[in-house]
Structures are given as C-alpha cells and as structure tokens.
Structure 1
C-alpha cells in the first residue's frame, strides 16, 4: 500500500471516529478543526443503478467528513456525446436521504457540453447564439422546477465556469454580464440563496484579469463565486493566480467558497478526444491545501469531490468524458 493511499483511508477512518481531527490526522499535526462544509457530486447515468443502501453509505461518509451540503454539478447533460437527464426520483432520493443526515442539496442547472467549443470560436455571433439557447434552458428550469419547494433546497448552481482568458474582451463581457444577470434574477425569484458558479485562473496569457472580470460581474448581478483552487491541474502554485480575486471579494465583502480539488490530473490518452484522466490526490497534498484554506477567508471549504476521490480505496486513475475544471 502506498503512503498516499494510506493517507486517504486515514481521512475516512479519522472522520468516522472524530470529524474534529480530520485534517490533523492527514499529516499536519496542527490540531486544526477545519474540514469540508460541502462537496460537489458530479452525477452520471451509472448512478441510476446504485441501490439505496449504497447511497446511504456514501452520504453517511460525506456527512462524517463535515459536509452539510451537496452541490449537484448538473441535473442534465445535453449538446454532447452523452446526453442524459438525471431522473427526478434520484434527485428526490438525495433530498430525502440527505435530510435524515442534515445534508441539503444545491441543484445544478442543465449543462450544454458545447460551452468550451462555443468559447473557442472567433467573433461573438456563435457565442451569442449559444448563450441565448443555454439561457432558455436554464430559465425553463429556474421558473418551473419543483426543487425550491423542498425543505433541504440550498439554491441553484450554474455549471458554466468562468476564467479571465475567455472573457478578456469588452465584446464578450457585454454578452456575458446581461446573461448572468438574467439568470441570477430568475434564481432570486424562487430562493434567497444567490445563484452559485465556479471560476478559475487560466494559465493562458491574456490582457484580462480574473479580478477585473468579477468586478464587472458583481456590479450587475448578485452571485456566489466559487473559487477553484486549481491544484488538481496546476499544483499548489495556482493559488497565486487567484490572489487578486480573493482580495477583491474580501474587500467588497462578497461571500465566496473555496473549492479544494482532490484529484491529480493526468495527460490525456491518444485518440481519447481529450477525455479527462485523473487519480486521487495524496493525503499529503490535500493537507497542504487545507493549510491554505484555513486562512483563506472563504465562507466554506468545498470538496471536489468526496465522491469519487476520497471514497476511492486505490490510486487507480479514472477517466471521464467531461473535463470539469480543466485549466486552459
């Protein structure tokens, strides 16, 4: 058994015995009580076949690790090779089983997998058409969904991540900001929780800045930013790229979350259509991330994601058709 594999198992064992010793048991020895408050759940069609007993086991472990909220990455996938709508019965099961453990659910809106392709195009016409289509789908869900009536409903998540590279120009921001504002307003009509979405620091050279982008956004829309730490892709040095945005949010007293990535990205395989490959992060690296999270100023520390990366009992790599959070 490798040291990193042992550390991840220790995380689970320590959490079951005493949540307060979670991070300290992972290697720092500092005695900190910081832990996760929420985790993403990236649902796939295979989840439809999981028995209720297995869901209860996973949710119990999630709660033992400190989480009182699960953020569904999306409630439907479309526009790609794997179209799928999460059955309402499965979402209802998460609400009911989560309620018994004190876990609420933030529901992800439908996700069009053509997002990154639309962003890569030149000009704004194609992007404008994409945003209009995605907005119509999201508004349909925001206006007609029954989930806000659930006792454990914690708000909506918009599964379209923002970086400074793709939104550097005035022309693109003039499309983005009204789009976000309309979705935030629709969300606010059904829940007091601001619409949440993730943002990350792109390593591609650009004149745009992440803090500048969010300054413009927050002038027009009430949103809950979720900062991806990017360590799963770019390493611990990625925090430096996020620092100006962190400073802006703290200066403006905007509540935000810090997303701690629990995976280590691996190079894509040839002829795989850039499918996302990763393996669970070592316990030592997760401990270093939590050391940063302790004084980061975020309202919550959010795991991406307990399932599967901490629930995995091996160092085996995993491959996904959709690349969440890949830094470009």
Structure 2
C-alpha cells in the first residue's frame, strides 16, 4: 500500500508544471568610458561574475539618450561585450533606450504623457529589432525597460492608467520581436503606504504582463533599514504563503550614493558590507539582482566608477 501511495505521489508531482528557476543576476550599466578598458579584460570581468555565482547579465541600456551608444562603432563594441558575456556562461537580459529626461518628462499631466511614452515605445521597438537582427535570438533571454517606476508620479489614477497601457504595449511589441519576458524596475521612497505600493506593483504586473524588480534602496538610503524592510516585506508577501508576491524580484544595491539625485554619483560599499549583500537572496523563488557589475568587490575597480 505504501509503495502504491508513493507511486501516486510521484506521478502527481511529475504532472505539476515545473517552477521557473529564479535568476541570480548582475546589472551592467554601459558607459562610453568603458571602451577604454582593454578588450582582453572583459573575458576576466565576465568570468569573475560567473565565478561569483551570477547566471545572468542584465544590460541596463543599449542606448542612452541621443548620444550614448548610437554610433555604429559603439554598437559593435557592445556586441563584442555580449559575445564575451555569452562565452563566460552568462545569460543576457537586454536593456533598451534610456532617456535621461524621463524623470522630468514623467511629471507631465497624464494627457501629455501618452504621446511621450508612445515615442519611447517606438524607440524601444526600433532598438529591439536592431539587436534581434545582430545577435543570435537564443542569446537574448529577456528585455529590460530602463524607465524606473517610482512611488510618486504613478499614484494618480489617470497617470497609472497611462503607465499600464504603455507597459502592456511594450510587453506585446517586444515579445513579437523575440518572445522573452520583459522586465522593469521600481523604487520606493516612502511616498506611498507599503501595502498600497505593493498593490500598485501587483496590479501593474497583472494588467501589463511586465515582470517588476524592486530596488532595495540601501544605496540611496532615502529610508532607514527598518523602513525599507517594511516595503520589501510588503512586495514579497513575507509572512504569507508566497502565493501572490507583488514583484518578481529584488535589486540589491552594492553602492553608496555620494551625490544628489540631479547628478548620480556613487562609490562601492566596503568589502565586508558588499560580501554580506552578495549573500542575500529574494524569498518566494523570486529573482535576485545586484547593482552593479561596476561595484563588484572581486573586480577590484577594473571598471571605472
């Protein structure tokens, strides 16, 4: 009888859909000054990342405004780096166009936001087609939208509707290019109650099909440790059964911000602190993402800060 029950249990488990494997990813934010790093060094850089336990490289953007990585020579350089990452055994989540004016433009009234976000969608679609044509589609394991979702602008119902429509459209059009998950990130600074913020993200994921990662806020330190944890618990369904978390993962920050928000400047965390952060993993089988490759202690400053 026991053998029969064991067999039935095994058959039931095999019939269940396999749980998706959470990624352990490191974000790389390309800078034009990185072109001064010798080409041979990138094999070492990505090899170190792989040896540290990362399985995925999230490239934050492949274009930054009108001048960042738009030239053919710069795109050739990026393509070579993607090949280096692939050779090191890293999967690739490919970021698209990052508009430096996004945080100013997002403050427009909802009726004006629609046209602006439509332009962003066109730019992202064009860029996705470019890279899908240049790379083996098997190398692209996901798309990343660099526009980060805050807890201020999108509280307004009309603005939230515009954002939902934008994200839904992005998900559809990018998957039509290469059918992979589409990711974006969000951050909090105490402008919404934790549960309200979590519900906003949960609804955005459900209505748009986008997978959201929540930044832990440790590097920017807008809130203290206890305050940040309340938000992280809210979006992870901590204390629950992990049935309905409000995000697909956490972005752990390996830096300390040294400038204000108008001109981001940062430095790496002390080595012991960074090692502690690198040991963290998001609960509920969610993605663990770390920002960023530039601040990884094992690289000893090979990439300029």
With structure 2 as the length reference, what TM-score do the two structures score? 0.79
Structure 1 residue 112: deviation in Å? 1.1
| Equivalent of residue 79 in structure 2, options 75, 78, 92 | 92
Q: Which runs of 4+ in 1 moved over 6 A?
A: none
Which residue number in structure 2 is paired with residue 261 of structure 1? 253
Moved more, 302-311 or 154-163: 302-311
Within the alignment, does 1:240 sit opposite 2:254 as a pair? no
Q: Note the alpha carbon deviations across 1:273-326, whole angstroms, 9 max, x for none.
A: 8311222112343355456x3462243322101223425647xx95xxxxxxxx
SS at the partner of 2:220?
helix
Within the alignment, does 1:276 sit opposite 2:264 as a pair? yes
Which residue number in structure 1 is paired with residue 44 of structure 2? 57
Moved more, 138-147 or 237-246: 138-147
Which residue number in structure 1 is paired with residue 115 of structure 2? 129
| CA distance in structure 2 between the partners assigned to 1:128 and 1:111 by the alignment | 17
| CA distance in structure 1 between the partners assigned to 2:289 and 2:263 by the alignment | 24
Pair 294,59 (structure 1): closer, same or farther in 2 beyond 3 Å = closer
| CA distance in structure 1 between the partners assigned to 2:134 and 2:297 by the alignment | 28
| CA distance in structure 1 between the partners assigned to 2:271 and 2:285 by the alignment | 22
| Equivalent of residue 163 in structure 2, options 176, 179, 199 | 176
| CA distance in structure 2 between the partners assigned to 1:67 and 1:285 by the alignment | 18
SS at the partner of 2:180?
coil
| Equivalent of residue 98 in structure 2, options 105, 111, 132 | 111
Structure 1 residue 51: deviation in Å? 2.1
| CA distance in structure 1 between the partners assigned to 2:83 and 2:194 by the alignment | 47
Which residue number in structure 2 is paired with residue 120 of structure 1? 107
SS at the partner of 1:307?
helix
Gaps of 5+ in 1: 1-35, 319-328
* Greater Cα radius of gyration, structure 1 or 2: 2
Which residue number in structure 1 is paired with residue 183 of structure 2? 196
Are the equivalent residues in 2 in contact too, given 1:169–1:208 (CA < 8 A)? no
Structure 1 residue 207: deviation in Å? 10
SS at the partner of 2:184?
strand
Are the equivalent residues in 2 in contact too, given 1:263–1:279 (CA < 8 A)? yes
Pair 241,252 (structure 1): closer, same or farther in 2 beyond 3 Å = closer
| CA distance in structure 1 between the partners assigned to 2:113 and 2:86 by the alignment | 40
| Equivalent of residue 218 in structure 2, options 225, 228, 231 | 231
SS at the partner of 2:145?
strand
Pair 298,163 (structure 1): closer, same or farther in 2 beyond 3 Å = farther
SS at the partner of 2:83?
helix
How many residue pairs get aligned? The number is 273
Gaps of 5+ in 2: 1-22
Which residue number in structure 2 is paired with residue 161 of structure 1? 148
With structure 1 as the length reference, what TM-score do the two structures score? 0.73
Are the equivalent residues in 1 in contact too, given 2:250–2:282 (CA < 8 A)? no
Structure 1 residue 208: deviation in Å? 9.0
Aligned Cα RMSD in Å? 2.9
Pair 68,147 (structure 1): closer, same or farther in 2 beyond 3 Å = farther
Which residue number in structure 1 is paired with residue 200 of structure 2? 213
| CA distance in structure 2 between the partners assigned to 1:288 and 1:55 by the alignment | 25
Which residue number in structure 2 is paired with residue 4 of structure 1? none
